[in-house]
Amino acid sequence: MESSCLNYSHVMKKPPILISSQRDKLLQRSTFSFPLQKKNSTKINYFHLNGDFGTLNGNSCVFPKCQAQTISNTFCAHPEIGNEGIGIVRFLQGKNFLITGATGFLGKVLIEKILRTNPDVGKFYIIIKAKDDEAAKERLINEIVDTELFQSLQEIHGKNYRDFMLEKIIPVLGDVRETGIGIKSEIAEKIAEEVDIIVNSAANTTFDERYDVALDINTLGPYRLMSFAKRMKQLKLFLHVSTAYVNGQRQGVISERPFCLGDTISSEIRSSNKDIPVLDIEAEIKLAFSSTTKDDASDVQEMKDLGLKRAKLYGWQDTYVFTKAMGEMVINSMRGEIPVVTIRPSVIESTFKEPFPGWMEGNRMMDPIVLYYGKGQLTGFLVDSCGVLDVVPADMVVNATIAAMAKHASCTDPGTHIYHVASSNVNPLVFNQLADIMFEHFSAFPYVDSTGQPIQVEPLKLFHDMSEFSNFILTDAMEKSAKIAGSVSKERVSDRLKALFMKLVERTKYLATIYEPYTFYGGRFDNANTEELIDEMSEEERENFQFDVESINWKDYIANVHIPGLRKHVMKGRGTNP
């Protein structure tokens, strides 16, 4: 919350604000209004009220003249000297986790961080899809234990590393697409007795996935997991990893607020709701699963088209974010007395610092653009040059997740708490800035072709109009095909080569269409809750669990951390001179 409390001499004759204490918080029990104008803002860490006068960070003050607004908030007491802040490390002691999506990019970073922070944590029961228990254990070893990400833990534990990991991480044969999440009854009972925290990070992140497939994982998966959570004997928190883009086509500054069943973005942004049907999740599931589900190409495309059509009808960009939003609705409607934290990161990219800078796995959202540009295969793209790409490093997402987990699992509040972990509102990365950084990097450190010659890149051309972009890539493709054919005449290019490049052109246009809602996105994700979380942390916690996105220097991160990490960990050094 922001206030303009300091340096005011005007005393407002208003009734005192009612405050009561509860645990470590000062709770405002009544709402109040500030009239008129506003001056300099100071973030409140703590205050004490005495009638109209208050104490803000040790300074006497009175309430200011502010813009007309009504404020109703919870004010956290300032940590006393020696206070450990949220108490993250202490909280982790002995805690047992059930994690879905643990073999994924973010899940692995989360496990590594917790094990490195507090080796006295309890156990991680991780759901792994496999044919049998032995295959599940093999996936654990190959995809987690033996990976480069865990090298710091390998150095810490030495020859005892593997024993430590296999003691802490228990592979559980299961699948969020199955009833009871596919867990055998005996291990299900053990998990129900022991687990303190559920972390749901399983997701299908393909923008244009088949509607039935996306619903099964992103919407029904949370339903099945929350149903399983109801069996837990000592569950303290259900933590759900979502995406900031569940906010769909909302514009401007977007607040951190939960979804309720039936909410639609279309009903918020359109002046008339008469043509917008009510969102019924059960009906959407029936629609998807009653439609054709054959695996031939035409039926697969029909299911993809259905997902995109339904998403856009209700105000979401694509099938991915639509089904993730419905997953949030399901969790919120089912939770009952179970505390829920929803982490909404924006575009998650390589690690900022931990366990080492630049680690990543697979191609994230902006990475195909970076790689194809560096290889000379992409010379232009459809994007708002002044628009913002909302990026956040993976380790910052994980640190925010752990901090939120520690805060809310230690409370008795059964509410839903939303955290945007995003940069667009406080430290935006503009697309033309990204294009400049890529050009500078690949000019200084070019890829090399199959003959060992450096690939020269030109500044990336940014197009605001699809027709101009289509004409450009068509001309560019034909020129490349002519060059490959060894002819300067486009007419002499073989029909087969023309067909190949036309197919590439159509694919590029399709990808540009899929990306367009993000490359022209007008929303900015407010992260007030996340910033408040930082304020509640001790200095030591802020240093060890850093997630202040304002601290990121984008040029340094993209050029010196992210692209080198992409070339090393994803490309495995291919196209780079020894």
Residues taking part in catalysis: 320, 324
Closest CA to 14 of 56, 59, 63: 63
**How many angstroms separate the CA atoms of 558 and 350, rounded?**
9
Q: Are 27 and 21 in contact (CB under 8 A)?
A: yes
Is residue 370 within 8 A of residue 563, CB to CB? The reply is yes
Which residues does 578 contact at the CB level (< 8 Å), separation at least 6?
none
Q: What is the chain's length?
A: 578
Name which of 179, 168, 174 is nearest 132 in CA terms.
Answer: 174
Longest dimension (CA), the chain: 87
Tell me the C-alpha distance between 111 and 128, whole Å: 14
Q: How is residue 495 written in tokens? A: 């029909």
Alpha carbon dihedral 267, 270, 271, 274, in 10-degree steps, equals -60
Tokens of 208: 């244009």
Question: In terms of Cα–Cα distance, which of 345, 336, 351 is closest to 256?
Answer: 345
C-alpha distances in Å from residue 486, one per residue of 76, 371, 375, 483: 70, 26, 20, 5
Q: b vs e for 146-178, b when ≥16 Cβ sit within 10 Å of the residue's Cβ?
A: ebebbeebbeebeeebeebbeebbbbbbbbbee
| 62 DSSP β-pair partners | 53
d(CA 32, CA 35): 10
Cβ partners under 8 Å of residue 37, min gap 6: 65, 66, 67
Segment holding 522, helix H or strand E: none
Q: Please state, in angstroms and rounded to a whole number, the distance separating the CA atoms of residues 127 and 332.
A: 22
Radius of gyration of the chain (CA): 26
Selection from 209, 228, 227 nearest residue 218 by Cα: 209
Backbone angles phi, psi at 8, to 5 degrees: -110, 140
Quickly list DSSP for 283-321. Answer: HHHHHHHHS----SHHHHHHHHHHHHHHHHHHT-SSHHH
Is cis: bond before 355, omega within 30 of 0?
Answer: yes
Q: Which pair of structure tokens corresponds to residue 186?
A: 């005996």
